[in-house]
């Protein structure tokens, strides 16, 4: 029996609710959570053993990644960061420290900090040992709810096509690990979620 795709408004309503909760966080809440999230993620064996980690720069009240990026780099990891392309796909460039980030204006989208170094191409992510994914929620099956732009769906499809099997880890706040998120055929499960209070594996 084929699963019925979720009503599009189901995802939209859940996204709205989760984004509203994030907007209600204070700057101090975000800083405290970012420090704890960095500790949780760094405890993952998948990151400890990784040579290359594909990550991202958090924006606004997203779970903070800046401290984690610097810790990964200090531990000798090669860190790749995304560069948003006009079609919402992602190119990649190496993270060389906070001074290597530049604000990029994408019409109609939030202002993002992106690496200023040479672009390595969308396929660079297939060489990563671990991929840290943004999201809004993950459920007990490891199904992730993204923002709806489709950028990371393309990343996950690219990994699958290449036969690449990096550790997929989503970074969230504790309250964003939920019982169930609406699922569509193109959605891919993650292997673990790191939150300020620890790690959950699927």
Residue 150 pLDDT: 86
Residue 72 pLDDT: 96
- Span 138-161, pLDDT tens digits: 999 999 998 888 899 999 999 999
Top pLDDT among 162 and 183 is at 162
- Span 32-47, pLDDT tens digits: 999 999 999 999 999 9
pLDDT, the chain, mean? 91
List the domains of the chain with CATH numbers: 8-201 (3.40.50.10420)
The model's confidence at residue 110, banded by pLDDT at 50, 70 and 90, is: low
Residue 72 neighbours by CB under 8 Å, 6+ apart: 42, 47, 53, 55, 79
106 has pLDDT over 80: no
What's the rounded mean pLDDT across residues 42-67? 94
Q: For the full predicted model, state whether its pTM sits above 0.85.
A: yes
What's the rounded mean pLDDT across residues 8-33? 92
Q: Could you write out the DSSP letters of every residue in 70-136?
A: HHHHHTT-EEEEEEE-TTS-EEEEE---GGGEEEE--TTS--EEEE-S----GGGGGG-SEEEE--S
Residue 2 pLDDT: 46
109 has pLDDT over 80: no
């Amino acid at each position: 029996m084929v699963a019925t795709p979720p009503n599009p408004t189901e995802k939209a309503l859940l996204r709205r609710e989760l984004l509203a909760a994030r907007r209600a966080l204070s700057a101090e809440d975000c800083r405290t959570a970012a420090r704890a999230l960095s500790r949780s993620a760094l405890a993952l064996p998948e990151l400890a053993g990784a040579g290359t980690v594909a990550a991202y720069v958090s924006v606004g009240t997203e779970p903070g990644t800046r401290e984690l990026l610097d810790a990964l780099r200090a531990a000798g990891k090669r860190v790749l960061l995304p560069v948003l392309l006009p079609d919402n796909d992602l190119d990649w460039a190496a993270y060389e420290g906070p001074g290597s980030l530049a604000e990029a204006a994408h019409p109609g989208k939030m202002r993002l900090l992106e690496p200023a170094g040479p672009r390595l191409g969308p396929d660079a992510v297939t060489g990563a040992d671990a991929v840290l994914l943004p999201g809004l929620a993950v459920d007990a099956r490891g199904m992730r709810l993204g923002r709806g732009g489709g950028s990371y769906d393309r990343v996950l499809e690219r990994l699958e096509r290449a036969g690449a099997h990096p550790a997929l880890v989503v970074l969230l706040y504790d309250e964003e690990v939920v019982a169930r998120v609406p699922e569509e055929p193109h959605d891919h499960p993650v292997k673990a979620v790191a939150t300020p209070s620890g790690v959950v594996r699927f």
